[in-house]
Amino acid sequence: MPEHTGSAPASALPLAGITVLDLTRALAGPYATALLSDLGATITKVESIKGGDSTRGWPPFEGDHSLYYDSTNRGKSSIALDFYSAEGQALLKRMALASDVVIENFRPGVMADLGLDPEALRAEKPGLVVASVSGFGATGPLSQTAGLDQVAQGMSGLMSVTGHDAENVYRVGIPVIDIFSGIFTAVGILASLVDRERTGTGHTVSTSLLEAALAISVFQGQRFLSTGVVPEPQGNDHPVLAPYGVFATADIPVIIAVGNEKQWRDLCELVGDASLADDPQLATGKLRTEHRAELKERLESLLAARTGLDWVEAFRAARIPTGPIYNYAQVFDDAQVKHLDMVQHVTRADGSDLPLLRGPLSIDGVAPSIRKAPPALGEDTRAVLERLGLTEGQVQGLLDSGVVAALDGSTARGSARDGAGG
């Protein structure tokens, strides 16, 4: 079967049969559980009865649907619950003990306040895996401080190396720290599940936005630790390689990324000036980086002879890494993106169509399909409680008392949006 075609049945996925209680909101935690859902896990998203996940109130909107929320909540069920009632906390504990994994991103200490201390839970269910994502870590002077993506981008040094100069630094255009925190959390959960198979015992795994941000600093952080040199922003140029960045052509800018000497010599020949490769000032990667401004000027004078897409085609044929700079309309019109079949369509509970980006992994060449549209708040409350073993009468009693709610999509999303002042 060609790569990325078809869809894997849920029962064939690696995490089929694994149940995850998702107490997270915003982005880092929901991104982690979306990845686990892609791999076959059953995700039950527990949300506050008072509006649910805060991102339900975040733009952009399609009608009453938050597309921000939709982007990271594929494949999940939603139950709306009163976290701070005794009955709600008893239900939370019951759901936790019926799960393989519990994941949360509360402020450190809140889980214990809810009666969900990981060690206490594991005393009753030794194999339970508990995962936690916080802003700055479970301990330390900032442990009780709220942490958001851009705060972590700033405090980790990431913004200091993103931009054109030290006076004009920028955040990355997506919440990259939230995303990496989610990825690292998913990795920790998977490692704990593997170890549980060997030992029968679960673990508490944790990370924070700040730790994730520092972890992805790689050579920039290492440069300072080893040399004391503070990295500076390089605009669209690679910090340590040249030519590697954005270059003007006859019409549009393109990316050229030379990573070794063969690519460098092939580039010189292709742009029509083989003498560049013999210039002693450009003889090594280190020298090319030191003379990057002069090198860029010389290359762009040669690149002006042809259009950007002409150059991209020529460089690709010569195996020189290159590509255009797309906006998102161009991204989804690209032949390779279409071939990868990254966009799947699902139907929401209200019958509306939702195109979603699938997860990035394929299993044996097959990309798992999105098994369920992002849920409305409380869309699955009844089903979740019935799976837990409650009778129809018990479920109705919880609904009547306000411990849980089963809300339709328009009411749930409308309430969340209004509550957030959106």
Positions annotated as catalytic residues are 178
Task: Give, as one character, the DSSP assignment of residue 366.
Answer: B
Question: Could you tell me the end-to-end alpha-carbon distance of the chain, in angstroms, rounded to an integer?
Answer: 46
| Token digits of residue 277 | 């490769």
DSSP letter string, 48-67? ETTT-SGGGGPSPEETTEEH
Which parts of 320-380 fold into alpha helices (H)? Answer: 328-331, 335-340
| Token digits of residue 49 | 């009865």
- Residue 22: which H helix or E strand, with range? strand 19-22
Phi and psi at 406, nearest 5°, equal: -120, 105
Residues 6+ apart with CB under 8 A from 155: 210, 213
Give the sign of the dihedral formed by CA 149, CA 77, CA 344, CA 32: positive
> Partners of 355 in the beta sheet?
345
Residues 6+ apart with CB under 8 A from 276: 268, 282, 298, 299
Would you say 325 and 254 are in contact if contact means Cβ atoms under 8 Å apart? yes
| Token digits of residue 58 | 């975040």
- Residue 79: which H helix or E strand, with range? strand 76-81
Torsion of CA 95, 132, 31, 238, to 10 degrees: -170
Rounded to whole angstroms, what are the CA distances from 14 to 190, 291, 301? Answer: 10, 50, 53
Closest to 69 in 3D by CA, of 56, 79, 78: 56
Angle formed by the axes of helices 261-271 and 308-317, nearest 10°: 130
Task: Give, as one character, the DSSP assignment of residue 369.
Answer: P
Phi and psi at 152, nearest 5°, equal: -65, -40
Look at strands 42-48 and 19-22 and give their pairing: parallel
